[in-house]
């Protein structure tokens, strides 16, 4: 939990500061979309390879190594900003490097959890991990916003680099060995193909990933929040930080609901309902003209996202054996980040053509159609029970 807290806080601070800086350097919504794409692009390219590493190497050591190396991009961004030499391409290249390191260690952070808790507590353990990750989305943007307003963007970059040090120490203090169970395997293309085969034959996981893929593809809202802050609500960096934090507040509420409900058996139906709620909240954001209404809409997006994420991650941990868990988790990450990357480009282009509010409304419509289409094409998802 300490590792997740520090590493995710650092990551979200860097992302918020980068988007803020790109917008003020370029003033372009298209550049904002491209910046979001570069943050997610390594997940598309290296995401599955990170799963192979998690099923081959020591997961605990892999987490420590990738977090240590990830200190460098934050320091470089801070130095370039402080010197006044920073350009948009600097931000994109260094975010590309930081995201690449994050994706190589990400599957290990998820795959190690079932080895630390009994299966009877797995849903709560996964939900608590999601709660911790979403909680950093509450605190990190607020911290970044205040640091940017009072000390400059470079202060946010240096702070996120420093937060990675305790995350490394905490990872090394985990008592479990971190070694994957089962036969020792080599890093090979065959290991990657085995992951594809497992996903194809486990249709419940596949259907959940497809539902999330198309919903987020049309509903990824985070890259265009600086436009809402500047044009629609007319708030500064602190207001932008609050906009980024509002989904995290909702996520805390959503995760609390899951924890209170216990072991939800109708996970498929709950996932569909949560995705529909995501679509409706996106439409609410598009219609918002007051800052507080926008915050409520973003909180609704966070509630629905937290519920669907907890269910997807738990289903993967239940259905995947330990020696396949890293690759299965990496597929989850790749699907999510691929949609984030493509969705960032679509959101930026949509905001440029239609304006940010209208882009959100179109996204709401397409997300709703996706939910209806998935229920029609894969009816067994609604009936899936984990008992």
- pLDDT tens track for 213-243: 777 777 777 777 888 888 778 777 778 878 8
Count the neighbouring beta carbons within 10 Å of the beta carbon of residue 377: 10
Per-residue confidence (pLDDT) for residue 115, from 0 to 100: 78
CA 159/CA 13 separation, integer angstroms: 8
Query: Nearest 5°: CA angle at 58, between 57 and 62?
Result: 90
Among candidate residues 271, 217, 263, the one with its CA nearest the CA of residue 380: 271
pLDDT of residue 89: 85
Q: How far apart are CA 382 and CA 387, in angstroms?
A: 14
- Selection from 352, 354, 334, 353 nearest residue 342 by Cα: 334
* Interacting residues of 262 by C-beta distance below 8 A, sequence separation 6+: 123, 124
Q: 19, exposed or middle or buried, with CB in 10 Å at 0-12, 13-18, 19+?
A: buried
pLDDT at 387: 60
User: Exposed, middle or buried, 230 (CB in 10 Å: 0-12/13-18/19+)?
Assistant: middle
| Cα 262 from Cα 161, distance rounded (Å) | 37
Rounded alpha-carbon distances, angstroms, from residue 262 to 114, 137, 266, 318? 17, 24, 12, 15
Q: Is residue 126 a contact partner of residue 317, using CB atoms and an 8 Å limit? A: yes
Buried b (16+ CB within 10 A) or exposed e, 89-122: ebbbebbbebbbbbbbbbbbbbbbbbbeeeeeeb
Query: Residue ranges of the chain with pLDDT lower than 50?
Result: none
DSSP secondary structure of 227-269 = HIIIIIS---HHHHHHHHHHHHHHHHHHHHHHHHH-S-S-HHH
pTM score: 0.62
The pLDDT score that the predictor gives to residue 54 is 76
- Report d(CA 59, CA 314) in Å as an integer: 19
* 175: exposed, middle or buried (Cβ count in 10 Å: 0-12, 13-18, 19+): exposed
pLDDT at 205: 78
Q: How far apart are CA 367 and CA 379, in angstroms?
A: 18
Listed in sequence order, the residues at least 6 apart from 59 whose beta carbon sits closer than 8 Å to its beta carbon are 108, 111, 112, 178, 179, 180, 326
Cβ neighbors of 377 (< 8 A, separation 6 or more) are none
Q: How far, in whole angstroms, is CA 5 from its chain's centroid?
A: 14
Q: Report how far residue 49's alpha carbon sits from residue 43's, in angstroms, rounded to the nearest whole number.
A: 10
CA gap 129, 51 in Å, rounded: 18
Can you read off the two tokens belonging to residue 284? 């609410």
d(CA 303, CA 141): 18
Mean pLDDT of the chain: 80
Q: What is the pLDDT of residue 69?
A: 92
CA separation for the pair 108, 327 (Å, rounded)? 9
Apex CA 284: angle with CA 278 and CA 288, to 5°?
Answer: 145
């Amino acid at each position: 939990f300490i590792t997740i807290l520090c590493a995710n806080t650092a990551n979200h601070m860097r992302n918020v500061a980068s988007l803020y800086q790109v917008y003020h350097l370029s003033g372009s919504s298209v550049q904002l979309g491209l910046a979001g794409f570069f943050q997610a692009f390594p997940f598309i390219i290296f995401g599955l390879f990170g799963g192979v590493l998690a099923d081959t190497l020591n997961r605990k050591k892999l987490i420590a190594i990738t977090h240590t190396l990830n200190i460098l991009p934050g320091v470089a961004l801070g130095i370039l900003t402080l010197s006044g030499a920073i350009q948009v391409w600097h931000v994109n290249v260094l975010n590309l490097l930081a995201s690449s390191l994050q994706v190589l260690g990400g599957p290990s952070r998820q795959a190690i959890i079932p080895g630390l808790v009994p299966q009877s507590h797995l849903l709560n353990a996964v939900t608590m991990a999601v709660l911790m990750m979403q909680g950093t989305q509450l605190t990190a943007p607020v911290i970044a916003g205040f640091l940017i307003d009072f000390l400059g963007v470079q202060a946010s970059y240096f702070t996120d680099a420093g937060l990675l040090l305790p995350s490394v120490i905490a990872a090394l203090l985990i008592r479990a060995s971190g070694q994957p169970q089962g036969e020792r395997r080599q890093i090979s293309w065959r290991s990657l193909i085995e992951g594809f085969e497992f996903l194809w034959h486990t249709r419940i996981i596949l259907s959940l990933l497809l539902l999330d893929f198309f919903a987020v593809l049309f509903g990824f809202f985070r890259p265009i929040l600086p436009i809402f802050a500047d044009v629609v609500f007319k708030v500064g960096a602190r207001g932008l930080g609050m906009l980024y934090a509002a989904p995290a507040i909702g996520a805390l509420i959503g995760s609390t609901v899951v924890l209170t409900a216990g072991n939800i058996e109708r996970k498929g139906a709950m996932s569909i309902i949560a995705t529909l709620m995501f679509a409706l909240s996106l439409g609410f954001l598009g219609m918002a003209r007051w800052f507080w209404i926008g915050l409520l809409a973003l909180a609704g997006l966070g509630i629905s996202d937290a519920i669907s994420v907890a269910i997807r991650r738990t289903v993967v941990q239940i259905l995947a054996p330990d020696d396949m868990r890293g690759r299965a988790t990496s597929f989850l990450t790749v699907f999510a980040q691929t949609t984030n990357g493509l969705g960032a480009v679509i959101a930026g282009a949509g905001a440029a053509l239609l304006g940010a509010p209208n882009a959100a409304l179109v996204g709401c419509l397409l997300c709703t159609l996706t939910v209806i289409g998935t229920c029609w094409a894969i009816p067994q998802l609604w009936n899936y029970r984990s008992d």
